[in-house]
A and B are shown apart, each in its own frame.
Chain A
Amino acid sequence: MTAPLLIADLGRRGYGEVLSLQRDLCRRRVAGEITDDILLLVEHPPVVTLGRGTRATSLPLSADAIGARGVEVYEVERGGDVTWHGPGQLVGYPIVDLRQHREDLHWYLRELEGGLIDALTALGVAAERTPGLTGVWTGGRKIASIGIHVKQWVTFHGFALNVTSDLAGFGLIVPCGIHGVTMTSVARELGTPDDAAAADALWRGASGAVVAAVAHRLDRVPAPAGTTIVPAALEPA
């Protein structure tokens, strides 16, 4: 029987509390208290996070100036440069023990990209990899970003797919430190009408497609995560 991928859809949650949850789940997986792979799905309020590869030139505004606009700034342990999260962006944090898959970071990054490309294909967006630039692209525009951290082969942090995101948020930063990059979203690529019902339907479609594709890539079967994984305080409202 194929092992499960425990899915926890956290809904809209602050970056800080989900970061603590991720770190805790990773620690418990390393300690052997958790034995199944987990995928957290979440939508964050506007936040800018700086990965370990952040270059000074990636932040045209100072962290204080970004903070002054009500956007929190976090410096985190994931790989990659700066990125933005916010409403309309589907963020996924797989907590996966690579020893049960392959002890190969590049394999894992490519599988995440592949899963997102599969999901986008299902949504009707032709997406692709750009060699040397981790992430997912469509027609030269960047639609999803990836940055992970691995502790004793257990992963956390993950990917961010722009579904209906207001892309102006990326204007605060140089996304991923790539000057000249244009960000896009599923809604923009599909020309989805700008109304709540259409956005909601697209969001649900994207969540479903991402869960199915990531589970398939990891050769796992999606299953709901229980309260042993996600404390009641963090369950979606």
Chain B
Amino acid sequence: MATKVVMEALSPTMEEGRVVEWKKNEGDPIATGDVLAEVETDKAVMELVARAGGTLLKRVVPEGTTVPVSQLVAVIGDKGEDISALVGGGAGNGGPAAQTTKPVADTTAQRTSMPPAPPAAAATESTAPAPRPAPPPGVSPAPSRPGASPTAAAAPGDGDRVKASPLARKIAAERGLDLHGVAGSGPAGRIIQRDLEGVAARPAPGPAARAPQVPAVQPVPAGEPFRDVPLTQIRKTIARRLSQSIGPIPTFYLTTEIDMERVAEARDALNARGEGRISFNDITIKATALALRQHPACNAWWQDDHIRYWAEVHISMAVAIEDGLITPVIRHADQKSLRQISAEAKDLAGRARERRLKPEEYTGGTFSISNLGMLDIDEFTAVINPPEAGILAVGRLAEKAVVEDGTVAVRRRMRITMSCDHRVIDGATGAEFLKTLKAMLENPLALVW
């Protein structure tokens, strides 16, 4: 008689656990109490212990996989026993169709309806959490109105509890708003500040009710460093399908060739002033940062269950060091002068090679640039630096014969290739960004405009 081994709840609040390491192989004899695997939840690792003896017939999930509590992870039984009924159509092995419209708050549904993380993704990106069940369609970005459907706010079984961010709760309390009936657009249908725009004040039930003290509509405070956008249904499908196809980061590449004649002239003129040398790399950093400012869709992080669009532009710059590479960050590159960028890039690269960078100097970038032009590389593709969604691979400046107005001219040209995380950036989005970047470099006055 085969025994199912399931992901155990090591805490009442545990919803999923990651199988970090199998301690037994398929075919190994198992005694009751044997440690089968190590499981991680939060920052705690615990052992998964066999509740029955026999032979380990099947390890259902590979190492590194995050699985919901109660889901089948292994089968113990007699050697040669037919367990196809257990591992074939059992709970948790359903296809994506099992990702129903059950609200996240309903943990029972989550436990039984969640498919395991795709093995390919789990094997190579061990920390990727299992996909979360989708919130009900229409909940995500729907503008909220007073009296809107209460689906998100009060999920079945949620009782009187409303999921809302602390800020949203604070604002609601200040304004005397009733959060019941407000549709949440945050993760898992959580009500966030934005959802309260336009919600008319009405007395909250209970003794806390009081008159609104501030105007009903509060502007979004300026200076927020980023904006988290929940994944829409189509974004989720794109992310899942493309990751299955190509790997944990479904990357595609866009290449364009840029006429650098005018940049070269501008650079020569600047350098002739004798106040320090500006490199093509410095100019590329500045232009990229300015172009990102115009295309915030490319200045973003993939965050597994949402996309983080940054309001600031921090360029990670790949620097080769003795036994690898590191990406120091030029913060607010769009707001700095070429001279500042040049000095900072030089300083960061120098200290990177001496390994004297502080952690805050090589983390927190929003977009990367890798330049191999100085090593005579014509063009190449760069590997995305997660969680950033894009990286630019910059080749060398080369004199080329180009046809211009019907005649052949010799021009200095540079090829750049952008690697895009397709979960965040679509083809046209990346292409629009490159178009702006190309236009800026071909008319470098735009850099100072």
B398 within 8 A of A: no
B12 CB–A CB distance under 8 Å: yes
- B269 proximal to A (CB < 8 A): no
Task: List A167-223 residues whose CB lies under 8 Å from chain B.
Answer: 168, 170-171, 173-175, 177, 179-183
Pair A52/B14 contact, Cβ less than 8 Å: no
* B67 beta carbon closer than 8 Å to chain A: no
Q: How many residues of A contact B (CB 8 A)?
A: 42
User: How far apart sit A64 and B13, CA to CA, in the bound complex (Å)?
Assistant: 39
Residues of A within 8 A of B47 (CB): 150-152
Q: Are B45 and A52 in contact (CB under 8 A)?
A: yes
Chain B residues contacting A170 (CB-CB under 8 Å) are 359
Judging by beta carbons under 8 Å apart, are A182 and B42 in contact?
Answer: no
Whether A3 sits at the interface, judged by CB under 8 Å, is no
B38 close to A (CB within 8 Å) = yes
Interface of B, secondary structure class, is loop
A51 proximal to B (CB < 8 A): yes
* Contact call B324/A62, Cβ cutoff below 8 A: yes
B324 touches A60 (CB 8 A): yes
Total residues of chain B contacting the partner, CB 8 A: 35
Which residues of chain B have C-beta atoms less than 8 A from A139's C-beta? none
Pair B359/A174 contact, Cβ less than 8 Å: yes
CB contacts (< 8 Å) of B40 on chain A: these are 52-53, 79
Q: Verify B21–A57 contact, CB threshold 8 A.
A: no
In the complex, A147→B44 CA distance in Å? Answer: 6
Decide: B42 and A55 in contact? CB cutoff 8 A. no
B43 near A171: Cβ-Cβ < 8 Å? no
Contact segment of A5-13, A16-24, A35-43, A105-113: A105-113
Interface string of B33-44 (1 = CB under 8 A from A): 000001011111
Q: B273 an interface residue at 8 Å Cβ cutoff?
A: no
Within 8 A of B (CB), among A72-111: 77-80, 103-109
Alpha-carbon distance between A173 and B38 when the two chains are bound, in angstroms: 24
Q: Looking at the complex, which one of B44, B49, B356, B364 makes contact with A180 (CB distance below 8 Å)?
A: B364
Contact yes or no, B43 A146, CB < 8 A: yes
Chain A residues whose CB sits within 8 angstroms of the CB of B387 once the complex forms: 179
A150-B47, A179-B387, A180-B364 known; A134 vs B42 contact (CB < 8 Å)? yes
Is the C-beta of A126 less than 8 angstroms from some C-beta in chain B?
no
Report B313 CB to chain A, min CB distance, Å: 15
- Alpha-carbon distance between A181 and B361 when the two chains are bound, in angstroms: 10
> Do B43 and A148 have beta carbons less than 8 Å apart?
yes
Decide if A61 is an interface residue (CB 8 Å cutoff).
yes
Selected A-B contacts with CB under 8 Å, 10 pairs: A52-B45, A53-B127, A77-B45, A105-B44, A106-B12, A106-B14, A149-B45, A150-B10, A150-B45, A152-B47
Q: 17 other contacts beyond A61-B355, A105-B44, A174-B359, with CB at 8 A cut-off?
A: A53-B43, A60-B362, A61-B324, A62-B324, A79-B44, A104-B10, A104-B13, A105-B14, A105-B41, A106-B12, A149-B46, A168-B358, A171-B356, A171-B357, A174-B363, A179-B364, A179-B387
A-B pairs with lowest CB-CB distance, top 4: A180-B364, A106-B11, A80-B43, A79-B45
